[in-house]
Structure 1
Amino acid sequence: MDDLRQLLRGLEVFAGDLPVFDPTEAPASPSELFTEWLLAAVEAGVREPHAMTLSTAGADGNPTARTLILKGIGPGGWQFASDGGSVKARDLAVRPFAALTFYWPQPARQVRVRGPVVPESPEDSAADFLARGAGARAEALLGRQSQPLSDLAERDAAVKESLTRLEAEPDLVAPGWTLHSVRPDSVEFWQGDRERRRTRLVYLRSGEGESGSEGWVRQLLWP
């Protein structure tokens, strides 16, 4: 354990040239700044820059986190999709709140999104499902996410059978498949720094602004 501790302490962090983040030039909306940072992560060669950690909690308050893919940012907020029988779907049924965490190591940037979760329309959910690859749709149609599995051969056989079903019925949509939106109460942007002078800027929802648009208050935070 001591060797592991020494190894962890010796690992380099925030290597290379890091971008400069001037919070005084941040746009009025967190979605605008997020889009800028996401595109910069793509340009920097970050792998899976649209991957995010989704954290939920069930009725007992015990949190669960997993990595998903961001589906987009719509009028309702940051979007992700879920099978109706999954752990996250059960969590959201009793506690419809979630946190999203994005981390892009090359530019040393992190974004944290927190707020209530609302389901999108059945039509949008179906469109999201049909836009998935055949393998992903075949697996989701099984409706067995997080259930015990006896062996990998059982999985492969079930997915193969599901793919055959999809070939015959390409417009099938998994029952309960739902596109969700996290409607943020807060969005925090974190910029790393080799000298530990990290910059944190949080957007806090403040109701509606002019012309019915969302209103936001920006606040710097201590590292």
Structure 2
Amino acid sequence: MMDDVAAIRKEYALKELDVDQVDKNPIIQFKNWFQEALDADLVEPNAMNVSTVSSEGKPTSRILLLKGIEDGGFVFFTNYSSRKGKELAQNPNICLNFFWAGLERQVRIEGTVEKISVEESTTYFHSRPRGSQIGAHVSPQSQVVEDREALIQKEKELVREFEGKEVPKPDHWGGYLVTPNLIEFWQGRPSRLHDRIVYKLEANNWKINRLAP
């Protein structure tokens, strides 16, 4: 089996990427690539790997969904009491990674987070499906639970409690804004000589360089 895994490989040749082709602003460049991912009808193009670091210096990652692209950065929502929320409260450094296999592309974003306003979080919360709103109350995210049945019973109780009422946003739930200080765009190329263009924030200006693959 391991021999079969070692033999897995793919030659990338769809597109190319050069410093002269990218926008001087990495947020705009990301928006351009994200639109191409949408146009290509990729499955959940806003899915991203989110990495945080514990107080012991141990990294951990999970897949979340990007929910906003602003001039200042990238927005996602979660449970502030979850493992990731607790780690971000201790260490605001974060890394996001998007992989769009259908376009042979990857984007890596390094930066720091801060909570967005309660008003912004509440507005987004009430735009979610009602089941998702109730689910935010049901789940003590990242905590040990007795079994799935306990969650289902809690959901039933809350469905009855909120029947005919607006579901309030939990205090422990809301959004983060990721302010980037480094963004790398990766385009797969033949012979593993991939194109890597990196933007690094220096003295409030974005410096653009090509990296070796």
TM-aligned CA deviation for residue 160 of structure 1: 2.4
User: Given the alignment of the two structures, is residue 53 of structure 1 paired with residue 70 of structure 2, yes or no?
Assistant: no
TM-aligned CA deviation for residue 26 of structure 1: 0.5
Structural RMSD (CA): 1.6
Q: Which has the higher contact order (CA 8 A, sep 6+)?
A: 2
TM-aligned CA deviation for residue 206 of structure 1: 2.5
How many positions carry a matched residue from both structures?
213
Aligned residue for 1:76?
A: 72
C-alpha distance in structure 2 between counterparts of 1:14 and 1:134, whole Å: 44
Structure 1 pair 14–135 and aligned structure 2 pair: CA distance change class (3 A): farther
TM-score, length of structure 2 as denominator length? 0.93
C-alpha distance in structure 2 between counterparts of 1:63 and 1:47, whole Å: 27
Contact 1:13 1:194 in 2 (8 A): no
C-alpha distance in structure 2 between counterparts of 1:29 and 1:162, whole Å: 45
TM-aligned CA deviation for residue 41 of structure 1: 1.5
Aligned residue for 1:10?
A: 7
Q: Which one-letter code corresponds to 2:14 in the other structure?
A: L
- 1:45-194 paired onto structure 2 within 5 Å: 45-194=41-190
C-alpha distance in structure 1 between counterparts of 2:195 and 2:100, whole Å: 15
Contact 1:126 1:177 in 2 (8 A): no
Higher alpha-carbon deviation: 170-179 or 193-202 = 170-179
Deviations 1:144-193 (A, max 9, x none): 11111222222212122223333333141111222101101100001111
Aligned residue for 1:221?
A: 211
User: Given the alignment of the two structures, is residue 203 of structure 1 paired with residue 177 of structure 2, yes or no?
Assistant: no
Sequence identity (%)? 32
Unmatched 5+ residue regions in structure 2?
none
C-alpha distance in structure 2 between counterparts of 1:98 and 1:147, whole Å: 22
C-alpha distance in structure 2 between counterparts of 1:14 and 1:180, whole Å: 37
Structure 1 pair 217–65 and aligned structure 2 pair: CA distance change class (3 A): same
Unmatched 5+ residue regions in structure 1?
209-214
Aligned residue for 1:212?
A: none
Q: Which one-letter code corresponds to 2:21 in the other structure?
A: E
Contact 2:139 2:151 in 1 (8 A): no
C-alpha distance in structure 2 between counterparts of 1:150 and 1:194, whole Å: 50
Higher alpha-carbon deviation: 168-177 or 178-187 = 168-177
State the SS of the aligned residue for 1:88.
Answer: helix
Aligned residue for 2:18?
A: 22
C-alpha distance in structure 1 between counterparts of 2:106 and 2:120, whole Å: 29
